[in-house]
Structure 1
Amino acid sequence: MTPLIFIFQLLIAVPVAIVLALTSVWYIWESGNTVLYASFAQKMFSGIENYGLLAIPLFMLTGELMNEGGMTRRLINAARVFVGGFRGGLAYINLLANMFMAAIIGSATAQIAVMSRAMVPEMEKEGYDKGFAAATTAAGGLLAPVIPPSMMFVIYGVLAQIPIGDMFLAGILPGLLLSVAFAGVIALVGFRKGFPKGRWYNSPEAVSALLQCLPAMLIPIAIIGGVLFGIATPTESAAVASLIAFVIGWLVYGEFKPGALFGIFKRTAVNASMIVFMIAAANVFGWVIIYEALPQKLAALITSVTSDPFLFLLIVNVILLVVGMLIDGIAAIILITPILLPIAMTNYDISPYQFGVVMSLNLVLGLLTPPVGVGLYIASTMSGVSPGGILRALWPFLIAVGLVLILLSRFAWLSTALIG
């Protein structure tokens, strides 16, 4: 009966956090083990009693402060210096700016919203198809869950009980690989459609754009450099980055008004609390899963099909693709990690870092695929292009993601090479 209650709640669009909590309560009641009720609240609290989770609101705060402080425009101008003169230069600028933003925001939905507002009108003005402009921007948002910092990596690291800093390192090579794949798509589409030729900045313009961007670049340097060199934990790096974003936006660029802080803190608190509550509810749900020995039962089923780790990951990719189409990526990673990770590690000796990267990238694809497709609808709203119009231009990028996922599933070193 418990699985039916779980599925029914999902089908009627009950929030995932409530689904997890109510399903756990129903299971305890159905099992008759009322002693479990006494430790229900304690189990929920223990799920969020983790220092690493502080990084979530801090990364959200950094993104909010950066948006208010006028840093996005300066990052785009800096991207023009490096790729602006190529044929299809503005599409490459879009991609490179998305890479910069991914190293700051860490949230795909926030990145798609910000970049759609900034880039689609510019690309349309220079003669690009509006659907392709929106599709390029939406695809660039997929870099956010892979290039550190990533909120999905923070949540996965907490659930998998592995160092979040190492998880960030695991995402660097896959993020660069995905960026190269997207650049290849832009080059092929540009060759076929004859994209307009861009304009290189002259020396004074290039120097000015880079100098204007330098203060903003302190933010990804603080986040990634702090973790990479062991100077700070991801949480400490996020706190430093939010302070830098505030100081630069207010005192250096002069575009941030301290009066906006209350609204920013409120938005950050509301958005972060939803994620944290999901994690708390998932801890109780994971307790039920372990009590029912679900991973062991599922492991027996999958190992009867294949003993090859690569084939196992391909099967998991198909499962995750379907799940990601129906459930938000963060909710899905909270739900699925306790079930599939023990199987991957115990039965197939797969690195938790490799598994986390594959899972995060795959699940975030759901942002751009119906029927849920939150990122698709955000891009549509911000750009004025219909979801169907974006999808028609998006399919080459989705194929590129699929190929990258196969490579990440086949070659573990792409995820583990930078981890000491």
Structure 2
Amino acid sequence: MTPFLFVILMFASVPIALVLALTALWYIHESGNTVLYDSFGQQMFAGVENYGLLAIPLFILTGELMNEGGMTKRLVQAARVFVGGFRGGLAYINLLANMFMAAIIGSAASQIAVMSRAMVPAMTKEGYDPGFAAASTAAGGLLAPVIPPSMLFVIYGVLAQLPIGDLFIAGIIPGLILALAFLVVISAIGLVRQFPKGEWMTLPDALRALRNALPAFLIPLAIVGGILFGIATPTESAAIASLIAFAIGWLVYREITPRDLGAMFMRTATNSSLVIFMIAAANVFGWVVIYEELPQTLAAFISTVTSDPFTFLLIVNLCLLFVGMLIDGIAALILVTPILLPIAMNSYDIDPFQFGVVISLNLVLGLLTPPVGVGLYIASAMSGVRPFTIFAALWPFLLAVFLVLILLSYFPILSTALI
């Protein structure tokens, strides 16, 4: 009965955190072992009793401070210096700016919202097809789950009990490969459609743009550099980054003041609490999953299908692609990690860092794929382009992601080389 309740609640659009918690409660009720009720609250608290989770609200706050503090538009101008003169220069600027933002925000949905507001009107004004402008911007948001810092890596690291800093480092090469794949897609489309020719900035303008963006570059340097050189943990790096973002927005760019912090703290607390509650509920659900030995049962079944790690990862990719279409990426990650990770490690000897990179990139695809496709609707709301029009222009980028996923699944060294 418990699996049926889980499916019914899911398709009834009940929030995933409540689905997980209610399913666990119903399992205890069905088991007749009422002593387990005493452990329910303890298991929920144990799920969030982790220092690494503090990085989530801090990264969200950093993104809020960047958006309000004027750093986004200055990073876009800095990107214009490097690629603005090529044919289709604004499309390359979009991609490069998305890389800068991915190294700061860490959330695909937030990045799509910010960049759609900044880039789609500008690209449309210069003669780009609105569907392509919105699609390339939305696709750029897919860099957020792999280029550090990544909110999905923080959550996966907590669930898998892996060092979050090492996970961030594992995402560097895959993130660069994905960005290169998007670069190829934009170039190929540009050859067919003959994008508008860009203009190089004059030397004084270029120097001014780089000078203005220089303070904003301190944020990704503080995050990634602090972790790479062992100066700070990911959580400490997130705290330092949020402090730097506030100081730059207030004292350098003068676009925020201490009075604005209250509203930003409220938005950060609201968004963070949703994620933290999901993790707490997932810990209870994972407790039930382990109690019922579901990973062992599923592993025995899958091992009858294949004994090859690459084939197993392909099966997982296909299954997670379907899951991601129906469930939010964070919720799906919380749901599947306790089930699939033990199988990947124990039955197929797959490196947990490789597995984390693969499933994080896979699940975030659900942001841009119907029927849920939250990222599509965010890009549509911010740009005024219809979701179907965006999706029709998005397929080359999605194909590139699929190819990158196959590469990451076949070559573990791409995820583990820097660790």
- Fold agreement, TM-score > 0.5: yes
What amino acid sits opposite 1:276 in the alignment?
A: I
| Whole-angstrom distance in 1 between the partners of 2:161 and 2:394 | 35
Correspondence for 2:354: 354
Alignment of 1:235-254 (within 5 A): 235-254=235-254
What amino acid sits opposite 2:236 in the alignment?
A: E
Report the alpha carbon displacement of residue 378 of structure 1 after superposing the two structures with TM.
0.3
| Whole-angstrom distance in 2 between the partners of 1:318 and 1:33 | 37
What amino acid sits opposite 1:296 in the alignment?
A: Q
| Whole-angstrom distance in 1 between the partners of 2:26 and 2:105 | 38
- Give secondary structure in 2 for the equivalent of 1:146: coil
State yes or no: 1:280 paired with 2:267.
no
What amino acid sits opposite 2:352 in the alignment?
A: P
Correspondence for 1:164: 164
State yes or no: 1:263 paired with 2:281.
no
Correspondence for 2:130: 130
| Whole-angstrom distance in 1 between the partners of 2:295 and 2:212 | 52
| Whole-angstrom distance in 1 between the partners of 2:9 and 2:39 | 24
Correspondence for 2:77: 77
State yes or no: 1:310 paired with 2:335.
no
Cα-to-partner distance string for 1:238-285 (whole Å, 9 max, x where unaligned) = 000000000000000111122111000000001000100000000000
What amino acid sits opposite 2:392 in the alignment?
A: R
Correspondence for 1:391: 391
Correspondence for 1:20: 20
| Whole-angstrom distance in 2 between the partners of 1:263 and 1:245 | 16
What amino acid sits opposite 2:233 in the alignment?
A: T
What amino acid sits opposite 2:111 in the alignment?
A: Q
State yes or no: 1:89 paired with 2:89.
yes
| Whole-angstrom distance in 2 between the partners of 1:391 and 1:329 | 18
What amino acid sits opposite 1:329 in the alignment?
A: G
Correspondence for 2:41: 41
Correspondence for 2:55: 55
| Whole-angstrom distance in 2 between the partners of 1:6 and 1:167 | 31
Q: CA RMSD in A?
A: 0.4
Correspondence for 2:31: 31
Correspondence for 2:413: 413
| Whole-angstrom distance in 1 between the partners of 2:177 and 2:282 | 32
- Give secondary structure in 2 for the equivalent of 1:39: helix
What amino acid sits opposite 2:357 in the alignment?
A: V
What amino acid sits opposite 1:228 in the alignment?
A: L
Cα-to-partner distance string for 1:181-220 (whole Å, 9 max, x where unaligned) = 0000000000000001101111111111101000000000
State yes or no: 1:176 paired with 2:176.
yes
| Whole-angstrom distance in 2 between the partners of 1:146 and 1:99 | 10
Unaligned runs of 5+ in 1: none
| Whole-angstrom distance in 2 between the partners of 1:300 and 1:40 | 29
Correspondence for 1:109: 109
| Whole-angstrom distance in 1 between the partners of 2:301 and 2:42 | 33
| Whole-angstrom distance in 2 between the partners of 1:43 and 1:390 | 42
Report the alpha carbon displacement of residue 114 of structure 1 after superposing the two structures with TM.
0.4
| Whole-angstrom distance in 1 between the partners of 2:406 and 2:44 | 36
| Whole-angstrom distance in 1 between the partners of 2:175 and 2:197 | 27
- Give secondary structure in 2 for the equivalent of 1:255: coil
- Give secondary structure in 1 for the equivalent of 2:305: coil
What amino acid sits opposite 1:294 in the alignment?
A: L
State yes or no: 1:371 paired with 2:382.
no
| Whole-angstrom distance in 2 between the partners of 1:43 and 1:392 | 44
Correspondence for 1:215: 215
| Whole-angstrom distance in 2 between the partners of 1:410 and 1:281 | 33
- Give secondary structure in 2 for the equivalent of 1:33: coil
Cα-to-partner distance string for 1:375-400 (whole Å, 9 max, x where unaligned) = 00000111111111001110000000
Report the alpha carbon displacement of residue 79 of structure 1 after superposing the two structures with TM.
0.2
| Whole-angstrom distance in 2 between the partners of 1:352 and 1:87 | 41
Correspondence for 1:7: 7
| Whole-angstrom distance in 2 between the partners of 1:99 and 1:175 | 9
Unaligned runs of 5+ in 2: none
Report the alpha carbon displacement of residue 8 of structure 1 after superposing the two structures with TM.
0.3
Alignment of 1:271-350 (within 5 A): 271-350=271-350
| Whole-angstrom distance in 2 between the partners of 1:44 and 1:8 | 23
What amino acid sits opposite 1:79 in the alignment?
A: A
TM-score normalized with structure 2 length: 1.00
| Whole-angstrom distance in 2 between the partners of 1:391 and 1:19 | 30
Structure 1: 4+ residue segments shifted above 4 A: none
- Give secondary structure in 2 for the equivalent of 1:198: coil
Task: Report % sequence identity.
Answer: 75
Cα-to-partner distance string for 1:43-79 (whole Å, 9 max, x where unaligned) = 1001100000000000000000011100000000000
Q: How many residue pairs were aligned?
A: 419
| Whole-angstrom distance in 2 between the partners of 1:117 and 1:259 | 24
Cα-to-partner distance string for 1:301-353 (whole Å, 9 max, x where unaligned) = 10100000000000000000000000000000000000000000000000000
| Whole-angstrom distance in 2 between the partners of 1:123 and 1:413 | 37
| Whole-angstrom distance in 2 between the partners of 1:331 and 1:291 | 21
- Give secondary structure in 2 for the equivalent of 1:85: coil
Cα-to-partner distance string for 1:150-185 (whole Å, 9 max, x where unaligned) = 000000000000000000000000000000000000
